[in-house]
Amino acid sequence: MNWKGVFPAVTTKFNEKDELDFELFDKNLQFQLESGVHGIILGGTLGESSVLSLEEKGALVKFTVEKVAGKVPVILNIAEGATKDAIELARLAEEWGAEGLMMLPPMRYKTDHRETVEYFKAVANSTKLPIMIYNNPVDYKIEVTLAMFSELVVCENIQAVKESTRDLTNVTRMRNLFGDRYSILCGVDTIAMEQLVMGADGWVAGLVCAFPEETVAIYTLVKAGRLAEARSIYRWFIPLLELDIHPKLVQYIKLAEAQVGLGSEAVRPPRLTLIGEEREAILNIINTGIATRPTLPDYKSIVID
């Protein structure tokens, strides 16, 4: 697994019957690939993992693997409460054709240091799939500390971290302590360029679901050292990227997808689509961004190391 580049945490598309909408999902998926993304992550927070059945997760992975056709790796998120369930989902992910896993610490119970490490080790030792640990203590209340990562180096397939602590200095701390042992991918849209400049390898992105070209352009320009160009696009993007750090990020980003013709507003209850003043306020942010979209350089022709 090459844990570098832009990895969209794609949304799950639903139709009016609350079933998986594979046609609309594929429309978005193909545009992500055409825009130059480097991997696809299924069943994350944006993918509404907590309300997907096991059968739906399997169907999504199999469909995506078929449609991606080897162009980029397909990664399944694991967010389980019991270790045995996480191990079983890792087994199924491999069976379904996924090429990697993203893993949160255990859900519902706040594990201590020893419990967190043993959870990750148990899953890692049960599978051959490469793993990216999702470190998001702000939303999920458990921090995967540097000391924990020091113990996890024995698991060769734990290869990367989705760095979502909101602490920019963690990129430097990880590099100082581990060198290139772990790939570092930014998991918070509003500090993505900052983390990339400080040496992060990639970006697990949210607004990429609606604006993949701009997202990949920023990544490419930063890695090519063309910071002024990247900064100009990033400044335009920030009001939109801030939609990623709200509890209703799923509704906000799905509304953005609908506005650009890459999705719909449909969410699965208990989430509800936006109404009233809130919807109008978010629409104003989205439509302002669409109306002022910058002209992008030919980022696909840029060669980076």
Is residue 124 classed exposed, middle or buried when 0-12, 13-18 and 19+ CB atoms within 10 A define those classes? buried
Q: How much is the average pLDDT of 39-52? A: 97
Amino acid at 169: T
pLDDT score, position 149: 98
Q: Is the pLDDT of residue 305 over 80?
A: no
- Arithmetic mean of pLDDT over the chain: 98
How far apart CA 248 and CA 271 sit, in angstroms, is 8
Q: H or E stretch including 162?
A: strand 158-163
Q: Is the pLDDT of residue 283 over 90?
A: yes
Please answer whether residues 93 and 129 qualify as being in contact, where contact means their C-beta atoms are separated by less than 8 angstroms.
Answer: yes
Residues in the chain: 305
Could you tell me which of 157, 148, 130 has the C-alpha nearest to residue 41?
A: 130
How far apart CA 252 and CA 283 sit, in angstroms, is 9
Alpha carbons within 13 A on the beta-carbon side of 103: 32
pLDDT score, position 109: 95
Residues 6+ apart with CB under 8 A from 15: 21, 24, 266
pLDDT score, position 190: 98
Q: How many other CB atoms sit within 10 Å of the CB of residue 4? A: 18
pLDDT score, position 269: 98
Please answer whether residues 163 and 192 qualify as being in contact, where contact means their C-beta atoms are separated by less than 8 angstroms.
Answer: no
Strand order in the sheet with 74-78: 5-8, 202-205, 183-186, 158-163, 131-135, 100-103, 74-78, 40-42
Q: How many other CB atoms sit within 10 Å of the CB of residue 157? A: 15
At residue 146, the 3 state secondary structure works out as helix
Band of residue 154 on the pLDDT scale cut at 50, 70, 90? very high
Residues 6+ apart with CB under 8 A from 17: none
Q: How much is the average pLDDT of 255-272? A: 98
Query: Residue ranges of the alpha helices (H) in the chain?
Result: 22-35, 54-68, 83-96, 113-124, 137-140, 146-152, 169-178, 192-197, 212-223, 227-241, 249-259, 276-291
Please answer whether residues 75 and 101 qualify as being in contact, where contact means their C-beta atoms are separated by less than 8 angstroms.
Answer: yes
pLDDT score, position 303: 92
Q: How many other CB atoms sit within 10 Å of the CB of residue 101? A: 27
**Encoded tokens for 21:** 């909408």
